[in-house]
Structure 1
């Protein structure tokens, strides 16, 4: 009797008290849910050419609850795919910890079409294994846009924890625009409910919710121009960068960084060996040198120092300084790149022939505080805010920075190196492109834009008058037009061109290496070559900045690349030359169209120039990065009496 009562009590407990719970579990075992992947938004170039698309990809998944013998099943997968059995076991164990019951564990994320047919032919003998169809990102142009587009890859644990919409094996943007625009590009998954029998065979299914595609984007990049500029850089065989920018919109038409990599390799999955080869390459193909590379600006920085001197009133354009090939400050000697000297030099000739002694004198008069303030107010020392991750802001040194970094006081001789773009100063090619654009557009510092539909974003204004800016632009024109000009390679009879070369020392050369030709110096010790320039033809204006790592002299290495790009943009020689008088915004003759994007700003008085004020206006306000303290950027730089810049 007691035994019967116990049995009846247990039966009541299971059927009545726990009945609904077990019924729910039975329904869950019969009904399964799975997410339906949403197509990622497409990306186009400015002319509507697809540069990031989706294609079907096949993966082999495993549902643990449907597998009778996991070890035999993994061995079969290894036989099919050629994967190491130990790696498959590790993948399975890791996935088992992260997925919910009846969720799939991805064992082989990328299965070829040929292998797919073999697996499908034998998969019926292996319950729990399923072929999955998922969208995979594809970049038709491959390496050409890798530094800009970036790539997608599987979400890591941190990303999955942070974003509840993500699951194991989901892909997310990891670099470039794919990363920055992740929320717009990703879209929203759908949900499907499936009814299965005890063996896991599908009986019925219904769509609970439809997937929503991600938003498509159009870039400002011109694909044909990007390809042309890349080919010109690759002819040199050097690492480097090119930025082509519209000065009145901030749109970036081309952004080249060489060498590059194939972002499709990341979308399909890199091996450990492939990743190590990219990571350890001394020419850093994973680095976007236009935004993440920071270098001494060399003589390109003389444009800023000239403008600062005019603004501060310490430069009279007609005043001359004598250059005998060197300048003495105390017991130190600072040499000009022209050891024979330039003779009497005024502002125009100082920039045209890039006389170091002239700018040593300007740096000595300005001092570190005013040069620091003017440089930071001109956008250096902070990021530009471009829609790319991991941008570097470079370095504009100061008294406090040196004291904190080295525990040393600022020395007078360092003002001289500062003025010729040597010493501690570091800038990126994109920063220089924005600065040169501001000279041409009337003084507006614009955010560089990679998305075509955006309006200009004004982040600040130069601390100079329109007339002072025009004086600097006129010297850039002379640097191209005059026979002794260092940028004379850019000269075209049908366009107004302006430029400034720069030769940035990487290390201080040994005595026996001074005077040698570039090709006679060890590659890693050769100077970096700069050319910053602009061109105006038939109402179209563009700015081009070219950096060639270890290229030697700016005009010789960067000049041919820049000239080729201008010829591509402007076409064969023909038409009439565009003079600066026909570019009225520069001289302040007509209202500047950029005025509507920013509140009117007062020119900062000379006595307050150290503050480096910039303007803000609603959504067009400068990003936070414009005002953040500058961190120390590591790079090979040089300081001392032998620094010369050309």
Structure 2
């Protein structure tokens, strides 16, 4: 045996070779992987790495301004601070800890916060701000700012917030913006949770013009979520400004005239269709909607007997009363070829079968022709001439005169009013049209309903030689969509003269409007709400319960220094037209004259 010959351990030698091969294999695999990541896919992963530390966020566009015809600011924007959360920076996927902390710190209902969070998750990407609370107060803002280092997922978002000047006086013209609802978000893919959109008035009608378009900016974020660099990649496009035809001074003046009352006034230029004032009283504070109206406040508005949320100029539908006699006069002259000199004797009442229809003047007017019937507003004359009319023929004339259809003003939720027909009566009551209903219709009672704006547009046509225009609230719009009243020029001149005499004649029902230096024509109207009991007929207006009092109308036109105006006033439960609406209309003409004389 050779003791010096080394003993070979074949098992250990084999294991060493396997280990060496394994090491070489691992190095090879890592090398291939490194080549794959650094060379073959290097550009792709470099971009992905950059994406992980950058975010693209939206930049809010300021909403367009709204100004009056003299460029006075009516609606503008101011900075507001909202609280948002970025989900990918939360400590868990449902951001439970952050939501709990916000609820405690800001004293917000946790259920509401969670509802906003889970609703917003469906529409907002994980790296985008999801708005949880809007319009933070400065104390709330300070609380959040001082604790942001604890919650990297929370962000303060600065955005433009709507602000309204003269919010009450212009409430039914401007309308308001409010948070977009789920339905709004579903209908418009450009909206995000927390966005504000127009909900009524001009704000709603011109939402697409006023809103503008959001921009984009790139944020570079460090490991704890802090922004260390930002750059604008797409400029936001501000909304376009709107100049209204409204005269702010006149609007404010009229609103204060109506303070504490329920009513509507519209002032327009008959030669252009532009509206100078559109006032519905009472108004409400538009700015409350920007901050969010509390349920208690909302209910108080809904229950208010004067209905402040209703735009009475375009949504209030009322019996026109004797104002409708202007339409009836046109119908008699143009469709029935009535001789305006033909006289009817008014004894104070008119009998039809077993029924007695009374004139407002108990002792009667004596013998009256058409002009005197308009000037003194004799009911019996219109009973007599209207008794045999065909209601469907009258409806055709009424619709052609602009009633029972929309005026197409640039405001949402306008109502068309109503005028009956034989077919409607059969469907509604399962009976035919009666002659007594002709008598009621002839003096603007019964089933006829109109809006103050419809009356104003109609009177504008009388003044403007039969041409009417769409009532417009935009300064750049004039003489839009012209239409022609179904009146001959001769009949228009006749009615204009009768309206002027109603003011200038000592027996005219609108004689209280007479003003030196102004040519005014008018028609009063007292629209019955309910049939009063016999014992209530002799009572003063103030002695009758408010809800049973008549509505007071005054429809008028005026010429001041060759400039024409139409002024229509409707006072809900205001009593008689001359006493309920007359003083307001007179003050408006006095104001317009003073303004023209400056």
Instruction: Settle same-fold status: TM greater than 0.5.
Output: yes
2:350–2:380 contact (8 Å) kept in structure 1: yes
2:280–2:313 contact (8 Å) kept in structure 1: yes
Give the structure 2 partner of residue 618 of structure 1.
Answer: none
Question: Which of 166, 174, 177 is 1:141 aligned to?
Answer: 166
CA distance in 2, matches of 1:524, 1:459: 39
CA distance in 2, matches of 1:81, 1:39: 27
Deviation at 1:273, TM superposition (A): 2.1
Report the structure number with the largest CA radius of gyration. 2
CA distance in 2, matches of 1:145, 1:375: 31
Give the structure 2 partner of residue 229 of structure 1.
Answer: 254
2:399–2:405 contact (8 Å) kept in structure 1: yes
Query: Could you report, residue by residue, the CA deviation over 1:427-453 in whole angstroms, capped at 9, with x for unpaired residues?
Result: 000000000000000001210010011
Give the structure 1 partner of residue 280 of structure 2.
Answer: 257
Question: Which of 177, 185, 199 is 2:202 aligned to?
Answer: 177
Unmatched runs of 5 consecutive residues or more in structure 2: 1-17
Deviation at 1:21, TM superposition (A): 8.5
Give the structure 2 partner of residue 298 of structure 1.
Answer: 321
**4+ residue stretches of structure 1 with deviation over 4 A?**
3-6, 15-27, 572-575
CA distance in 1, matches of 2:122, 2:41: 28
CA distance in 1, matches of 2:97, 2:597: 75
Deviation at 1:364, TM superposition (A): 1.5
CA distance in 2, matches of 1:279, 1:12: 71
CA distance in 2, matches of 1:323, 1:526: 25
The alignment partner of 1:161 has SS state of helix
Unmatched runs of 5 consecutive residues or more in structure 1: 576-646
2:418–2:449 contact (8 Å) kept in structure 1: yes
Deviation at 1:555, TM superposition (A): 0.4
Deviation at 1:18, TM superposition (A): 10
CA distance in 1, matches of 2:287, 2:427: 44
2:270–2:468 contact (8 Å) kept in structure 1: no
Question: Which of 133, 143, 154 is 1:129 aligned to?
Answer: 154
1:238–1:550 contact (8 Å) kept in structure 2: no
**Does 1:209 find its partner at 2:243?**
no
**Does 1:66 find its partner at 2:89?**
yes
Question: Which of 65, 71, 93 is 1:48 aligned to?
Answer: 71
Worse-matched range after superposition: 159-168 or 45-54: 159-168
1:37–1:135 contact (8 Å) kept in structure 2: yes
Q: What pairs with 1:579-594 in structure 2 (closer than 5 Å)? A: none
- The structure-2 alpha-carbon separation of the partners of 1:326 and 1:314, relative to structure 1 and needing over 3 Å to count, comes to farther
CA distance in 1, matches of 2:280, 2:595: 27
Give the structure 1 partner of residue 11 of structure 2.
Answer: none
Query: Could you report, residue by residue, the CA deviation over 1:344-379 in whole angstroms, capped at 9, with x for unpaired residues?
Result: 111111011111110111212433123211110000
CA distance in 1, matches of 2:388, 2:51: 80
CA distance in 2, matches of 1:142, 1:173: 15
Q: What pairs with 1:35-434 in structure 2 (closer than 5 Å)? A: 35-68=58-91, 70-234=95-259, 237-434=260-457
Q: What pairs with 1:385-534 in structure 2 (closer than 5 Å)? A: 385-534=408-557
1:494–1:573 contact (8 Å) kept in structure 2: no
CA distance in 2, matches of 1:390, 1:26: 53
Deviation at 1:303, TM superposition (A): 0.5
CA distance in 2, matches of 1:352, 1:302: 10
Deviation at 1:106, TM superposition (A): 1.5
Deviation at 1:572, TM superposition (A): 9.3
CA distance in 2, matches of 1:36, 1:122: 24
Deviation at 1:511, TM superposition (A): 3.2
CA distance in 2, matches of 1:86, 1:158: 21
Q: Please, what is the CA RMSD of the aligned residues?
A: 2.5
Deviation at 1:112, TM superposition (A): 1.5
CA distance in 1, matches of 2:200, 2:43: 49
Give the structure 2 partner of residue 632 of structure 1.
Answer: none
**Does 1:560 find its partner at 2:583?**
yes
